[in-house]
Every structure is written in C-alpha cells, then in structure tokens.
Amino acid sequence: MYLPGSSKINSKNHLEIGGVDTIDLVTQYGTPLYVMDEWDVRNRMREYVNTFEKQQVAFQVAYASKALCTMTMCHIAKEEGLSLDVVSGGELYTALKAGFPVDRIHFHGNNKSDEEIKMAIRADIGAFVIDNHYEISLIEQIAGNENKKVKALIRVTPGIEAHTHEYIQTGQEDSKFGFNIGEMALEAAKRVNQSNQIELLGFHFHIGSQIFDMTGFEKAIERMAAFYQMVQKELKINLPILNTGGGFGIRYVDEDQPLSIRHYVTALVESVKRYFYHLGLEIPQIWIEPGRSIVGEAGTTLYTIGSNKEVPNVRKYVAVDGGMMDNPRPALYQAKYNAVIANRMESQASELVSVAGKACESGDMLIWDILLNEPQSGDVLAVFSTGAYNYSMASNYNRITRPAMVLVSNGKTDLIVKRETYDDLIQHDLVPERFIQSSYNKITNV
C-alpha cells in the first residue's frame, strides 16, 4: 500500500500523518477535515530549490498558490525561500497579509480587474504576467496614474497540447490564455517594449497540468528559444527571464507514475540550455511555478462514513459526510483517488464499493469502485492526495459548511483554517426591511 509523505500505520492500526493519529484528529476537530503534512510540503519545496542549485543556473521557484492558498501556506513558502504565483486580488491580499516579500510575487490571470492591478502596483509586486492587450492598456493607465513603472512577462501559448484532461490543457493555440506564439506575441512584445510604464523581462508559458513526461516541455522550450531569438533580433533587447510554468504530475492512484521533482527540474534545465545554446543565446533565468506537485500528495481528507446502499448485482454505495462541496474534482473532470479505512488499516481491503458524497446531486461521487475493508457506519475514510485544488475549489453547495484544515508535523497539530459554522453561512445574507415589515403585519393581523 502506497502511503504519501510521512503517513504510516501506527501501533493501533490507525493511519498516522506527521506523527499524529488521524483518529485523534477526528475526535478533536471532527470531519470532514483537511490534513496537511508539513514535512512533505517543505521537503518538496526544498527538493525543487536544491535541484536548481545543483544545476548552477539562475532561477526562481514560485509556489502556485491557486493550488492551496492560506496564510500559513504563504508563510511556509516564504520561509523556504520560494516566490509566489497569485491569480487574483484575493490571493494577493492573502499573501500581503501573511507578510510575503512583495518583490517575489508574480501576478497571473487572463482578466485582471482595475482594482486588482491597482492593488498589485501599489504593493510593488515583483512582476505581472501579462495575458492580453486589454491588460497592457490597464497597466499602462494605472501605473501612469500611480507614477510607477512595473516589470512584466508576457504569456505565450506555444501551441503544445499536453496529454492531460482537456479542461487543464493551457498551451494549445485555442486557449483563453495568452498570445499565440509568433506574430501575435511579437506584436505584444513590441508594444510592451515601447511602453513607458512597463519593463519587459521575458516570456511565460504553461502547457497544462498533471503531466507525467517531459516531451511537451521540451517541444515548448524549443519553440520558445526560437521565439526569443526572433524577438531579441527584432527589438534589439536582451530578455533575461523564461518562465516555463508548472503542471508537474503527482500520484493520485496506483497507475499514476509521476517523475521525481529532481527529474522534472533537471530535464527542464537541460532543455533550456540545449536549445538556447544551440541558437547562440544567453541562458535566461529560469522561473517555474509548481503548485499541485508541492501540496497535492501532502494533503489527506478525513470523512466519517454514514449510510450505505446495496443495489443487487450492480454496486454498493457508501456515503460520507462530505463530497463535491469539499472536493469538486471528480465531478468536474473525473479525477480519481485512493482511500483507506483509517481506523482499521491492517485489515485486508476486500469489499468493492463506491464512495458517494452527501450533496443532493447524482454526480456527487468521490470514488467509483474501490476495494475497502468492509466499510461501516462510523468508520473514518481517509482520501489521499487532496492537498491541491480541493480547499481552493470548495463551495457551500446545499449550504454545507466548508471543512477545517490542520497542519501536522512531528506529532504536533495546528489549526490553520477554522471550520465554518451555520452563522458563517448567513453572515452576508440581507433581508429587505419590507419583508420584515410584511411578516410583522401578517402576525399582528391574525
């Protein structure tokens, strides 16, 4: 049985993460509960940084905070010397409140608002990643009003389709992101280069997510090297930075076979060196943006099993106290997960069941057809590799409260996100005075 990070089976035959018994976590914090393995998070961050350092190239590893954005995660990234990739005003605000170094913040997004751009410029962030001509105009206008000059990369779609789900492909020509490589991107570069408010640092690309081989990256880097040569020759400028995005895959189920972080980084750097050297170009500073590959496997979600339903000769459904509200990925793009009965780890998984969520939706299925150890009401189900995009994409569908999140390390536990309450659900609801008055009149007229 594959157990991620510091997870193991303890002497009670319980699942233990970070030296903490998951059943004790459930007793203290309830379920559903997001559990983050701090050792695993930091270890992965350090492996990225250490591998780059061994390659002896200039680099920045920017944690893609959209995977999991909390103030604690920003603090960990800061302590490990990473930069930060944000894609909204909310993520930027979280980073600023966490005291993240502003010069290491990169702001992405295909439709940044006036207010978001203004917030970023006033904070003096490290760089924008420009996505379209509309954004160029906004940045020029706002930066001019603020009497500032900002640094930026231009996002380019290199025409590479990564072998992943169509919803998480981003490098193909038909994408909502960026300028298509060639004349479209060249025109954007010319415009930015002539701007008094923007300093062009280089280009960014991202070909998709959950990628298990380097072929797509190598092809994209080859195209980008040729494009850099064309731009530098045309504009007579040196572009010091190439941002190759992220998208490195992780293990969700046994058939997933991701490369090691060391392999991803080494192959990436070797490709940049090979194609840029071949064209007589200086090796640029290499930026990358891992998110899922840092926090994905470090996260485990704990649920309590409730009802079950057996359909003769079809399947047995086992329901948990969470679902698509805390993990929409199976409903969105058929994501698959592994799970275990956390309170009976060493017993053999012999019963084929399907794990259903509690939302009022037929499509709220967390796992189809998984072998578990005779799941019973009251058992704790641990679903692995839920650190990326689960909390980030969670909702209050059916007015169900979002779970708490704890950080575990060396036998200690820290609550880093409070569990929502019913009062939290209605805190922004407003009732017009006329409805209240109408109710009052009906009561007094009885």
Domain contains 145: yes
Residue type present at position 292: R
Pair (125, 211) in one structural domain = yes
Domain contains 256: yes
- Reported as a single tens digit per residue, the pLDDT across 169-193 is 344 566 787 899 999 999 999 999 9
- Reported as a single tens digit per residue, the pLDDT across 102-136 is 999 999 999 999 999 999 999 999 999 999 999 99
What burial class does residue 157 get, using C-beta atoms within 10 Å of its C-beta: 0-12 exposed, 13-18 middle, 19+ buried?
Answer: buried
Number of domains in the chain: 2
Pair (300, 268) in one structural domain = no
How large is the average pLDDT for residues 290-302?
98
Share of the chain above pLDDT 90, in %: 90
Give, as one character, the DSSP assignment of residue 67: G
Pair (178, 250) in one structural domain = yes
What burial class does residue 104 get, using C-beta atoms within 10 Å of its C-beta: 0-12 exposed, 13-18 middle, 19+ buried?
Answer: buried
Would you state the pLDDT for residue 438? 72
Structural domain ending residue among the three candidates 290, 305, 338: 290
Tokens of 71: 């103030």
Pair (353, 261) in one structural domain = no
Domain contains 50: no
Pair (153, 257) in one structural domain = yes
Pair (272, 334) in one structural domain = no
Structural domain ending residue among the three candidates 266, 290, 314: 290
Domain contains 214: yes
CB contact at 8 A, 146 and 122: yes
Identify which of 230, 118, 150 has the alpha carbon closest to the alpha carbon of residue 182. Answer: 230
Q: Which of 1, 360, 415, 436 is catalytic?
A: 360
Q: Let me know the angle formed at the C-alpha of 125 by 210 and 152, rounded to the nearest 5 degrees.
A: 70
CB contact at 8 A, 402 and 394: yes
Pair (121, 235) in one structural domain = yes
Pair (343, 384) in one structural domain = yes
Identify which of 177, 244, 196, 201 has the alpha carbon closest to the alpha carbon of residue 103. Answer: 201
Pair (376, 272) in one structural domain = no
What is 114-163 written as a DSSP string?
HHHHHHHHHHT-SEEEE-SHHHHHHHHHHHHHTT--EEEEEEEE-S---S
- 41 vs 104: CA distance, rounded Å: 19
- Reported as a single tens digit per residue, the pLDDT across 5-28 is 999 999 999 999 999 999 999 999
CB contact at 8 A, 99 and 79: no
CB contact at 8 A, 74 and 100: yes
Structural domain ending residue among the three candidates 265, 290, 315: 290
Q: Name the band, by pLDDT with cuts 50, 70 and 90, for residue 1.
A: confident
Domain around 191: 108-290
pTM, two decimal places: 0.94
Pair (115, 191) in one structural domain = yes
- 131 vs 244: CA distance, rounded Å: 15
Our answer to whether residue 360 is catalytic in this structure is yes
Domain contains 98: no
Domain contains 325: yes
Pair (213, 356) in one structural domain = no
Domain contains 150: yes
For tokens 């510091």, name the residue. Answer: 6
CATH number where 188 lies: 3.20.20.10
- Reported as a single tens digit per residue, the pLDDT across 194-224 is 999 999 999 999 998 999 999 999 999 999 9
Pair (136, 272) in one structural domain = yes
CATH number where 405 lies: 2.40.37.10
Domain contains 275: yes
